[in-house]
Amino acid sequence: MALEDNEYILQMKHIDMFFPGVKALKYVSFNLKKGEIISLMGENGAGKSTLVKVLTGVYHKTNGEITFDGKVIEPTTPLASQQMGISTVYQEVNLCANLSVAENIYIGREPRGAFGRIDWATMQKNASDLLFRELGIDIDVTKELNFYPVAMQQMIAIARAIDTKCKVLILDEPTSSLSDKETERLFKIMRNLKSQGISIIFISHFLEQIYTICDRITVLRDGTYIGEYDIKSLPRIELISKMMGKEVKEGEIESNVDKSVPRENVFLETEHVTVPGKVKDLSMDIKEGEVVGFAGLLGSGRSEIAETLFGTLLKSSGNIYIDGTAVSVKTPMDMMKNRIAFCPEDRKVQGIIGDLSVRENIILALQAKNGMFKHMSRHRQNKLADYYINLLRIKVSDREQLIKNLSGGNQQKVIIARWLATEPNLLILDEPTRGIDVGTKSEIEALAVSLAKEKGMSVVFISGEMGEMVRTCSRVMVIRDHEKITELNDDEISTAHIMQAIAGDYHGKSC
Amino acid sequence: MESLVKKFTQSSLALPLVALAVLLLFNAFFVDDFFKIEVMENGNLYGRPIDILYRASSLIILALGMTFVIATGGIDISVGAVVAISSATCCVMLGGNISGIPEHPFFVAILSSLCVGIVAGIWNGTLVAKLKIQAMVATLILMTAGRGIAQLMTDGQIITVYYKPFAYIGGNIPGVMLPTAMIIALAMVLLVLFINKRTSIGLMIQSVGINANAARYAGIKVTAVLFAVYIFSGFCAGTAGLIEGSLIRAADANNAGLNMEMDAILAVTLGGTLMVGGRYYIGGTIIGAITIQTLTTTMYAIGVSSDRLPAVKAIVILLIIVFQSEKFKEMYRNYKLKRLDTQLSVKKEVSNA
């Protein structure tokens, strides 16, 4: 049966899906036309990933019907749905880091020569042809995947996905680790695929990107289906209110929270701090009650500065002063004792201890700081955990729930709670809102500001989203090529100025 | 009552306990007087249950150390060899003097054995924690070299110790009803439970085992934690070495502690701790070790010859492991759901009719 252009290639009807004790999807429908790019939108925990996993056979639906390419299908395993033509590229690249690029693309379906021998030459040739033809990438495919940056790995994952003759390509948060330029490139590829008749499900938290690339949007909330909309007929503000289930005014999201006014005292100061290849001659200070932003492109060195302040990277020269005294740093513990706390960038790899409970995750840093022989009583642990669960409004069934079963936003809140429990004077938040829903995002922004304002805590706020820093920071340091190029103060802080500063066109009033 | 049952079936100890219970039940039916415990003329307790616990002592001690190592995501396959070194150390220190006069005081010999165990742990810890060598490879070195070292210490001879009190460790201290090995094992278990309860080392170990990177970012000294678990494992091996040496009152570099590392690993996994690290179960480990020994004792009791023992043991252990596997549990759940479904539909039909 030939498909007409506007006919649906994929229809999911009235899908129900249970987890033990929880109904994750309630009567959800989803339609995908041939050759369109659709976005699946919803806050964290709305059921986007669950729906995708039902489609790819990772989870199995309880009720409902899936029609793909004119036939009713029952996805059983990821492999089976891939063979049917449904390919997925996940947020975290799930390839083998220490195999070559070519091996990664052809793993499981290696071209064979005589006697079943793997035909390496053909494999490598095919791989580099594929990458060049489809994505315009010209790289050495015999190098290990590790050799390339995450953005490139993502492209390779996409190459692998589209080479398996897929009809539906699912991109789950593919841009969260990409720079603007790389995203641009990805979009070009997506448009190209679209013109070849491939349908794409694009999941992203970046509204800007959704509106640039997608044709239609399907909105989910709390595991229920809210609706399908043409992108042109759905203003952003309406989309957000549909996702959150409440009326939001555009101003509310964009407006300045009342920013914190820095106090006189300098809490931390660095003097010509250098980490070879990571941080170049950094001199700066952070005042009490100040929210300082580190702005810069991905890989500009903004995270490395944070890691140097926390002691996970060690400086080779220069000095760090805290409250005016020079400190020597050998381990993160040295900095924790100096009341510095650090929520690292990669929540999953550097943040959560997945198989531990929310309680254990919250008390972990404080317990480590106290030392293992000053064991906190269970009563005290419970009290501490409950306090922060209430304070940050962390959504958990109870404090003994495993952290890996929480949504990304709630995991992030737990990590912040872990550090607040150590009662720091300086809290470094590295990309605290990445991959988090809009509601939680603004909660975390507001928290950063209120900690500075009310407790006089210093906060370092690092984000790839300029708007976020414009809303929260009293001062923004602009980082480029591992070097601080300028600082923006108060009224100077705007997305435009930051972008110009990164580009080197704006040098700030103070410099 | 129902909630109690539910609590039990959901607890991590349920399966190991059931496995052990089934074994014991088998014994109760097929082995005469299995549970009978008598007081011997010399005042010692005697009976199969005592015998099992007694013979399981070394294994329990080794498995305790192994539990922590495995919880960090590592493994220590050198413990069997360390047992050999430790028992050789003690025997060499005491000397093979036929008159029974020790060359060095007994407590010095004991301390040296324990120290040797700790040194072995430091060696493993250095390789794993400092040099970041994969645990299997790192401990393989000492596993291979350990027996050679023991041979060197004993000059390739089997040193027999005639000093009487040495036999007390593997046997009974005169006037004490329980075998000394059991008391040592009990002390070690209590020590571990105390550490578990009163320090947060358990939390640190689990964090390292689940996500070492995140643990580091939370301020945990990952290297120190790894060092600690390997040192403790070495210490456990040193202790077990004393018992094993004392049992035969000799240093047998080739056979002391042979294959015990594998039994220890098995005990840990039977107890429900996963080889990938993370959550660990001390209670499970102990039950696992006892299960392994019960199995051996049962086989001897029903007359399985020692050359066939490994095969039978393998089959039983295979069964236990399969019952514990996630896949099997899932299959069982599905089976139960299906039965529920058919029951419901049958009921419907009946009511319709």
When CB atoms are compared, the residue of A332, A363, A376 closest to B217 is: A332
Distance (Å) from the C-alpha of residue B209 to the closest C-alpha of chain A? 9
Is pLDDT at A471 greater than 90 in this prediction?
Answer: no
CA distance B238 to B61: 10
Longest dimension (CA), chain B: 92
- List, in order, residues 6 or more apart from B107 with CB less than 8 Å away: none
How close, in Å, is residue A134 to chain B by CA atoms? Answer: 36
What is the structure's pLDDT at B63? 96
Could you tell me if A270 and A320 are in contact, meaning their C-beta atoms sit under 8 angstroms apart?
Answer: yes
Pair A424, A339: CB distance under 8 Å: yes
Q: Which residues of chain B, if any, have pLDDT below 50?
A: none
Residue of B nearest to A312 (CA): B217
CA distance A52 to chain B (A): 23
Q: Flag whether residue B334 sits within 8 Å of chain A, measured between CB atoms.
A: no
Give burial (CB, 10 Å; 0-12/13-18/19+) of B343: exposed
Asked whether residue A112 is assigned to any structural domain, the reply reads: no
CA nearest B277 in A: which residue? A355
Same domain, A308 and A387: no
Contact B204 A353 (CB under 8 A): no
Residues of A in contact with B71 (CB under 8 A): none
- Interface contact B211-A353, CB threshold 8 A: yes
Which residues of chain B lie closer than 8 angstroms to A342, CB-CB? 217
Distance in Å, alpha carbon of B333 to nearest chain A alpha carbon:
12
Each residue of A485-506: pLDDT tens digit? 888 887 788 777 777 777 666 6
Q: How far is B69 from chain A (nearest CA, A)?
A: 17
| pLDDT, position A407 | 83
Choose one of A228, A254, A280: the last residue of a domain.
A254
pLDDT beyond 50 at A147? yes
Partners of A356 on chain B (C-beta within 8 Å) are 203, 206-207, 210
CB A103 within 8 A of CB A79: no
Contacts of A365 in chain B (CB under 8 A): 218-219
- The CATH number of whichever domain residue A275 belongs to comes to 3.40.50.300
Answer whether residue A492 is part of any domain.
yes
Which residue, A401, A422, A443, sits at the end of a domain? A422
Closest chain A residue by Cα to residue B218: A365
Q: Do residues A477 and A431 share a domain?
A: yes
> Residue A64 domain-assigned?
yes
Q: Which residues of A touch B218 (CB under 8 A)?
A: 353, 364-365, 368, 418
Domain assignment present for residue A123? The answer is no
**SS3 assignment, position A430:** strand
A458, pLDDT greater than 80 = yes
Q: Are residues A87 and A70 in the same domain?
A: yes
Query: How far is the C-alpha of B66 from the C-alpha of B307, rounded, in Å?
Result: 28
Chain A contact for B205 (CB, 8 A cutoff): no
CB B181 within 8 A of CB B54: yes
Q: Name the more confident of A511 and B105.
A: B105
Whether A12 is in a domain gets the answer: yes
Q: Are residues A276 and A406 in the same domain?
A: no
CB contact under 8 A, B278 and A355: yes
A333, B214: Cβ pair inside 8 Å?
no
Q: What is the pLDDT of residue A238?
A: 77
Q: Pick the residue of A364, A377, A378, A384 with the most B CBs within 10 A to test the interface with B by mutation.
A: A364
- pLDDT tens for A301-348 read 888 899 999 999 998 888 999 998 999 888 899 999 999 999 998 888
Is residue A87 located within the same domain as residue A169? Answer: yes
Closest C-alpha to A226, from A442, A19, A26, A33: A26
Does B218 lie at the interface with A, CB-CB under 8 angstroms?
yes
| A315 in the same domain as A231 | no
What's the number of domains chain A is made of? 3
Contacts of residue B64, Cβ cutoff 8 Å, sequence gap at least 6:
B188, B189, B192, B236, B282, B285, B286
Which residues, 6 or more positions from A483, have their beta carbon under 8 angstroms from its beta carbon?
A280, A281, A282, A301
Q: Does B207 touch chain A (CB under 8 A)?
A: yes
Asked if residue A77 has pLDDT above 90, the reply is no
Same domain, residue pair A504 and A404: no
Whether residue A386 has pLDDT greater than 50: yes
Q: Choose from A372, A404, A415, A431 for mutation: most chain B CBs within 10 A.
A: A372
Which pLDDT belongs to residue A5?
Answer: 43
d(CA B211, nearest CA chain A) in Å: 6
> Quick check: is A1 in a domain?
no
> Minimal Cα–Cα distance from A375 to chain B, Å?
5
Q: At what angle do helices B79-94 and B106-125 cross, to 10 degrees?
A: 150
| Between A11 and A5, residue with greater pLDDT | A11
Q: Does A153 fall in a domain? A: no
Contacts of B274 in chain A (CB under 8 A): none
Average pLDDT score, chain B:
89
* Angle, alpha carbons A235-A240-A244 (nearest 5°): 150
For the record, the structure tokens of B173 come out as 């201290």
Contact between B236 and B82 under an 8 Å Cβ cutoff? The reply is no
CB contact under 8 A, B204 and A368: yes
pLDDT value at A405 more than 80: yes
The rounded distance, in Å, linking the Cα atoms of B100 and B163 is 4
Same domain, A328 and A471: yes
User: Is residue A424 predicted with pLDDT exceeding 90?
Assistant: yes
Q: What is the pLDDT of residue A149?
A: 79
Q: B36 touching A, CB under 8 A?
A: no
Residues A226 and A298 in one domain: no
Residue type (1 letter), A54: V
* Same domain flag for A261 and A319: yes
Residue A92 has a pLDDT of 65
- A vs B, Cβ pairs < 8 A, gives 69
User: What is the distance between the alpha carbons of residues B270 and B25, in angstroms, rounded to a whole number?
Assistant: 19
A272 and A319 within one domain: yes
Cβ pair B218:A333 closer than 8 A: no
Residue among A351, A356, A360 minimizing CB distance to B217: A351
| Chain A nearest C-alpha distance from B201 (Å) | 6
Among A205, A229, A254, the domain-final residue is: A254
Write out the residue range of the structural domain in which residue A385 sits: 353-422
**Distance between CA atoms of residues A467 and A256, nearest Å:** 10
Q: Are residues A55 and A41 part of one domain?
A: yes
Q: Which pLDDT value is given to residue B221?
A: 92
Residue among B211, B221, B279 whose CB faces A333 most closely:
B221
Q: What is the pLDDT of residues A239-275, one digit of tens each?
A: 877 876 755 443 334 445 578 888 888 899 999 998 8
If DSSP codes are grouped into helix, strand and coil, which group holds residue A476?
A: strand
The verdict on B217 touching A (C-beta cutoff 8 Å) is yes
Q: Is A349 in Cβ contact with B219 (below 8 Å)?
A: no
> Does the distance separating the beta carbons of B220 and A342 come in below 8 Å?
no
| Residues B52/B58, Cβ–Cβ less than 8 Å | no
Instruction: Say what percent of chain A tops pLDDT 90.
Output: 28
Chain B hits for A414, Cβ within 8 Å: none
Instruction: Say if A380 falls within a structural domain.
Output: yes
- Across the interface, do A368 and B210 touch by the CB < 8 Å criterion? no
pLDDT at A176: 67
